[in-house]
Amino acid sequence: MEDRKKTLYSAVQPTNNLTIGNYLGAIKNWVSLQNEYDCFFAIADMHAITVRQEPAELRRRTLSLAALYIACGIDPDKCALYVQSHVAAHAQLCWALNTFTYVGEMERMTQFKDKSAKHADNINMGLMDYPVLMAADILLYQADFVPVGQDQKQHLEIARDIARRFNNAYSPTFTVPEGIIMKVGAKICDLSEPEKKMSKSAENPNGSIFLSDDRDTVIRKFKRAVTDSGSEIKYDSENKPGVSNLLSIYSLFSGKSIEEAEREFANSGYGEFKLAVGETVADALSPIQNEQNKLLADKEYLNGVLKRGAETAARTANRTLGKVYKKIGFYQI
Ligand code: ATP
Ligand code: LTN
């Protein structure tokens, strides 16, 4: 029993094209953790519809994200890779957990406030309930660890609170999950506005590097990246946010430490440095893009992966849901 692997859970929404922020903050870490843990990786389509989506695009992006997970190195034979809406237990547990969540605490969530301001014409119940659905995702699988970027920290805290609340109200039911938030990479910043996080849905696409960007676009965007009026290539996130962000990106894609990178560019100017970062990122993205395109040409294979993934996920999820239904007093036949 003791050597049983711990469980890891994470997900990304199939909204827009993914950026290197999503890759470095989340997916890249999943790949390095998949051998150590029992992993469930979802495509969070139910979360995605909290903001209006074009149906054909949502369908296309869902499959495209499945291909991307695999192209990035997720092994579907080791992990359950599935689409959230294919496992009904997510919606079912979310409903039960809603009754353990207060409206006030949801209204105070940073992402809810940001998205409400951005989509003022569609502040729907799903947008407000987003963190409870995310708690349901995680708790269904009794996840020990959840690797995400910095922006998800508050959502993880709520998931932990809800788990504890339920456990205290009845008896231990849910594992209280812990976040895995890396020191470097948890917040990749926008290249044009390095004080802001790089986002899939930013207004200015020049600040975001999309995983689908071609070589010329990647290099052009890095060449235009905002630095500062100095000339030193040194990590100092407070005073040199642009340069520090570029150093983080370079370090994560090249596998060199920040210190090694600083030494490597000690005698370079900003122009030369930005070009080197751009080339390194473009070199890393190109095999991922090729692999993703190859996988997308074999829809039957991808459908098979998602079907198997959903079956594996549903078995674990339904076990937890069954316990919850019993504890809350739902009549069983
Ligand atoms: P959107 O901008 O459309 O709301 P997003 O870019 O934040 O979306 P999500 O699907 O919400 O993407 O997040 C997927 C994962 O990527 C999460 O673990 C999140 O923490 C991580 N992530 C997102 N942006 C960054 C970033 N700039 N740096 C590091 N990690 C990030
Ligand atoms: N809300 C997350 C995506 C997500 C998630 C999850 C992450 C949905 N369910 C469960 C970790 C665990 C985001 O990154 N925006």
Residue 202 confidence (pLDDT): 84
Ligand 1 pocket check for 21: Cβ under 6 Å: yes
Rounded to whole angstroms, the Cα distance separating 85 from 129 reads 16
Q: How far apart are CA 135 and CA 238, in angstroms?
A: 33
pLDDT for residue 201: 83
The reported pLDDT for the residue numbered 184 is 87
What separation in Å is there between the alpha carbon of 187 and the centre of ligand 1?
A: 9
Centroid of ligand 1 to alpha carbon of 130 (angstroms): 14
Residue nearest to atom 22 of ligand 1 (CA): 22
Residues carrying an active site annotation: 115, 197, 200
Q: Can you give the pTM of this predicted structure? A: 0.96
Query: Sheet containing 38-43: which strands, arranged edge to edge?
Result: 80-83, 38-43, 7-12, 145-147, 178-180
Measured in angstroms, how far is the CA atom of residue 21 from the centroid of ligand 1?
6
Q: Are 250 and 272 in contact (CB under 8 A)?
A: no
Q: How high is the pLDDT of residue 183? A: 87
For the chain, 333 residues long, the average pLDDT of each consecutive 10-residue run is 84 95 95 96 98 97 98 97 98 98 97 94 96 98 96 97 98 98 93 94 91 98 96 95 98 97 96 98 98 98 98 98 98 94
Q: Residue 161: name the closest of 249, 96, 239, 101 by CA.
A: 101
Question: Of the residues 22, 127, 181, which should be mutated to test ligand 1's pocket, given the most ligand atoms within 8 Å of the CB?
Answer: 22
Residue 198 has a pLDDT of: 96
